[in-house]
Amino acid sequence: MAWLDATATFDPDLFEAPVIGIAAALGDHDSGLHQHQRGQLLYTREGCTRITLAEQLCLLPPSRAAWIPPGIIHRAVMQRSVDYRSIYLTAELCRDLPQQVCVIEVSSLLRAVLEPMAMADFDTDWQRGKFVHLLALSLNEIRDATHQPMLLPLPNDKRLASLLATPERLPPELQQLEQQIGASSRTIGRIFQRETGMSYQQWRQQWRLMRAMELLTLGRSLSYCGFELGFASDSAFIAFFRALTGTTPGNWVKASS
């Protein structure tokens, strides 16, 4: 196990053991684009992580985990303080696990298993003793976990490059986007449906929800979140959040802590 700081470099592919675990508590950290031959389960105990992929934006709020299959190019950005655990699994161990990036619920059992796995020595024998059982339990829990809607597909059309250049900025209303890129609403709709499977309005709503969760995790107030996301009032923001999640922002924060 390695405790990492913000300046540390770490390559799990340099080790021979089938499972490599790390733990860290970082603030304002950017991993940069990278990939590894192992699959990675990244679990945020506290804080929020944004993961950028080639064609997706992934939000990892507290008490959730991101599963990243082997060979996927990705970048993890952590704001303020993020306390997390990661385990890296050889490609052979990943054969029965999801083949696409996903965000999963972390059950109480998986949470209990991840801690000793992240703390295990790099030369641990995973075919003996308790570690055999820890590994088997983790694989079962990852495979059977409930997936969370924390992924936002990104369009590849070059006309939308300016829209995607600043992922923290509220995407404009459709009429404003038409003026910015010089395309009709019908053309924009076709682009988003073809490349994301959503209409532009659906895509924008999903962006707002994920950004709301990120801001709430960072401790921002309801008024701040509502203003940043373009809502006219706190009540309008709460109604939006409840409609998409089934709960209020306040209750969501409590459940995630």
Report the pLDDT value the prediction gives residue 117, as an integer from 0 to 100.
Answer: 94
106-112: long-range pairs with CB below 8 Å, 24+? 106/43, 106/63, 106/64, 106/65, 106/145, 107/141, 107/145, 109/137, 109/141, 110/65, 110/137, 110/138, 110/141, 110/142, 110/145, 111/43
- Write the CB contacts of 177 (distance below 8 Å, at least 6 apart in sequence): 163, 171, 188, 200
For the chain, list residues with pLDDT below 50: 1
Report the pLDDT value the prediction gives residue 2, as an integer from 0 to 100.
Answer: 57
Report the pLDDT value the prediction gives residue 248, as an integer from 0 to 100.
Answer: 94
Helices (H), 173-256: 174-181, 185-196, 200-217, 222-228, 234-245, 249-256
CA 225 to centroid of chain Cα atoms = 19
Fold assignment, 156-256 = Arc Repressor Mutant, subunit A (1.10.10)
CA 15 to centroid of chain Cα atoms = 25
**Where exactly does CATH 2.60.120.280 map onto the chain?**
2-148
Global confidence as pTM: 0.80
**DSSP output for 221-232:** -HHHHHHHTT-S
**Where exactly does CATH 1.10.10.60 map onto the chain?**
156-256
Report the pLDDT value the prediction gives residue 80, as an integer from 0 to 100.
Answer: 66
Fold assignment, 2-148 = Jelly Rolls (2.60.120)
- Percent residues over pLDDT 70 in the chain: 95
